[in-house]
Amino acid sequence: MTHDLPRVAMLSVHTSPLEQPGTGDAGGMNVYITELSRALARRGASVEIFTRRTSSAQAGVVQVSDGVLVRHITAGPFEGLDKNDLPGQLCYFSAGVLRTEAARQVGWYDVVHSHYWLSGQAGWLAADRWGVPLVHAMHTMARVKNATLAPGDAAEPMGRIIGEEQVVEEADALIANTPAEAHDLITQYHADPARVHVVTPGVDLETFSPEGPGRAAERAALGLPLDTKIVLFAGRVQLLKAPDVLIRALGVLADHGEPVPTLVVLGGPSGRPTALRELEALAYQVGVSEHVVFHPPVGRTELARWFRAADVVAVPSRSESFGLVAVEAQACGTPVVAADVGGLRTAVADGVSGILVPDHDPSRWARTLGDLLRDDARRADLARGAVRVAAEFSWDATAEQTLEVYSSAVRA
């Protein structure tokens, strides 16, 4: 670098940080890219996020905050392309990225930071052309996902696995969210351990906070019942996130004559357009339709209100590179019941801020949720622990460590 603070080309091909998380392909990665970019900019870095244009109404350049721009790159039809169709558009996308740089002075960008394997493929070309390091974050890995598939879910194709292997081989540095993800990179993708850096994501503690008017007031404002326990699932409705496990757990509670909480599903369909209708049908089949509330995803400030309104937030994912929802819920003072998988082991302190469930057996989830919802004292203790655990996560710390990774990649 010819200057003290980096100019970063941040690549997110398949999903824009401007999209609403919780539906389609928009999820925790969108939040990660936005919050990391803002934190980097607060430290003087300049960040330009390149993403694929999905609407003619999108401006070519959008300023997110001081020092952070989103650039929409035309690559294929605006609508109608599934994520699995995008490998065929990577050349087009890469050309748009390269043309942007060509209009600047030579050596404008200091580092390429790509997210997800599709972006890694485009980032590999850009970094090679510009003579700068490629720093890559996988977020999810095909081999890990395929090892924990839900019944009926489709395996990730070999083309993705090969693409991931190529990016791992070519990246100058790899950022893993947790030690577990770093282990997967090294053991399943043969990544060079010297190039793997663990940088834990953060949480926005100003937005996600226990401070509020109180649970009853939050429920009243959101139109939620005041006289029943509430379990909240917030995320994309897809087999990978396993909201079906929660529906079946409610069915187990009902079959045993135990109190059935209200389950709020806060999210939209992902992967299959029928995903939400399938979940509604499952609730009908197991006889708990009247106990399930479906609501579309909401913005960050309102999401915090939903977290505070719930007695428990459930994260039953089949695999998870981190589990940002779990940390955000804990920051609001709500205990989390999560699957004992991947990054959730880092996000949730078992027995301190929540409970980790060792499998996806609906009967076990029913017992865990039922026992916790009956025990007000334990929930209060976990709520206090949740705030303490969430306070350990910071986007500012994430940005500082990321800058260190950039510097080490440049020096190498």
- Annotated binding-site members for UDP-N-acetyl-alpha-D-glucosamine: 20-21, 28, 236, 241, 298, 320, 328
**Cβ–Cβ < 8 Å for 36, 399:** yes
Q: Are 135 and 47 in contact (CB under 8 A)?
A: no
Alpha-carbon span 279 to 294, nearest angstrom: 10
Calpha distance 93→72 (Å, rounded): 10
- Cα-flanking dihedrals φ and ψ of residue 164, to 5°? -65, -45
Sequence ranges of the binding site for Mg(2+) = 307-308, 310, 334
Extract the annotated binding site: 14, 20-21, 25-30, 83, 116, 140, 160, 236, 241, 298, 307-308, 310, 320, 328, 334
Say how far apart CA 41 and CA 155 lie, in whole Å.
38
Within 8 A by CB and 6+ apart from 157, the residues are 84, 142
Contacts of 279 (CB under 8 A, 6+ apart): 237, 243, 244, 247, 265, 294
- For 167-206, letters b (16+ CB in 10 Å) and e give bbebbbbbbbbbebbbebbbebbebeeebbbbbbbbbbbe
Whether the CA torsion 371, 377, 378, 383 is positive or negative: it is positive
Number of other residues whose CB lies within 10 A of the CB of residue 299: 11
As a whole number of angstroms, the distance between CA 85 and CA 78 comes to: 12
Give the Å distances, CA to CA, from 381 to 39, 40, 322, 348: 32, 35, 24, 14
What are the residues facing 338 on neighbouring strands? 315, 356
Annotated binding site for 1D-myo-inositol 3-phosphate: 14, 25-30, 83, 116, 140, 160
CB 318 within 8 A of CB 342: no
Place of tokens 């980096």: 6
Sheet holding 111-115, edge to edge: 61-65, 68-73, 46-52, 7-12, 111-115, 134-137, 173-176, 196-198
**Dihedral angle of Cα 112, 113, 117, 121, to the nearest 10 degrees:** 0
